């Protein structure tokens, strides 16, 4: 896995994905973000085993090689934020280390195999619907007060959505 990406192109999806990564995790891999390079598309995935967030960015230059790996999310965000505006970042996977280069800066991050990264499974028997953002926001605001925050009865910490023909309750 070897490619070059602009700092600004990487920073926005990385910040979004790293937001779901927990600071205190039970599994070491949950502190990581998964990087998957397929063609000219870089996918970044973060999860806390309840929520999975995927950000995608197109590379402007073709990569030298494709691949996938996981790296510590917070460290990667901190490195990207510390680099100057307009800089390009070169990613190079060397065995179990990811080497980042930008200008005279060089960083080495430890990695974990992408095969160990958990993914939220897609269900074939799910339902889908379309709704305006304002409508769903209003529904959540009117009912969110009744949800528990940290009840041991975990089913009280969420919402029940009933979807029927033309109606969401």
Q: Specify whether 45 is located in the same domain as 99.
A: yes
Q: Specify whether 65 is located in the same domain as 148.
A: no
Query: pLDDT for 71-86, tens place per residue?
Result: 999 999 999 999 999 9
Inform me whether the pLDDT recorded for 123 exceeds 80. no
Inform me whether the pLDDT recorded for 124 exceeds 70. no
Q: At what angle do helices 7-18 and 73-82 cross, to 10 degrees?
A: 150
Q: Specify whether 13 is located in the same domain as 72.
A: yes
Q: Specify whether 21 is located in the same domain as 103.
A: yes
Phi, then psi, of 73 in degrees rounded to 5:
-65, -50
Using pLDDT thresholds of 50, 70 and 90, give the confidence band for residue 125: low
Q: Specify whether 38 is located in the same domain as 66.
A: yes
Residue 51 lies in a domain: yes
Using pLDDT thresholds of 50, 70 and 90, give the confidence band for residue 1: very high
Residue 52 lies in a domain: yes
Phi, then psi, of 157 in degrees rounded to 5:
-85, 10
Q: Specify whether 147 is located in the same domain as 86.
A: no
Domain of residue 44 covers 2-116
Q: Specify whether 72 is located in the same domain as 27.
A: yes
Characterize the bridge pairing of strands 97-102 and 88-94. Answer: antiparallel
Query: pLDDT for 103-112, tens place per residue?
Result: 999 999 999 9
Inform me whether the pLDDT recorded for 5 exceeds 90. yes
Whole-angstrom Cα distance, residue 93 to residue 109?
Answer: 10
Between the two ends of the chain, the Cα-to-Cα distance in Å is 46
pLDDT confidence of residue 146: 84
Q: Specify whether 19 is located in the same domain as 50.
A: yes
């Amino acid at each position: 896995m070897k490619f070059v990406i602009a700092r600004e192109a990487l920073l926005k999806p990385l910040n979004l994905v790293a937001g779901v990564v927990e600071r205190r995790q039970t599994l070491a891999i949950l502190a990581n973000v998964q990087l998957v390079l397929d063609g000219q598309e870089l996918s970044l995935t973060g999860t806390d085993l309840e929520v999975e967030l995927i950000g995608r960015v197109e590379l402007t230059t073709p990569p030298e090689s494709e691949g996938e790996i996981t790296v510590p999310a917070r460290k990667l965000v901190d490195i990207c934020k510390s680099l100057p505006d307009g800089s390009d970042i070169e990613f190079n996977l060397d065995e179990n280390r990811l080497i980042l280069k930008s200008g005279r800066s060089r960083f080495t991050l430890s990695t974990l195999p992408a095969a160990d990264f958990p993914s939220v499974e897609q269900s074939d028997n799910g339902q889908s619907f379309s709704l305006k953002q304002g409508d769903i926001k209003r529904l959540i605001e009117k009912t969110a007060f009744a949800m528990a925050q940290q009840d041991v009865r975990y089913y009280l910490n969420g919402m029940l959505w009933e979807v029927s023909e033309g109606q969401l309750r």
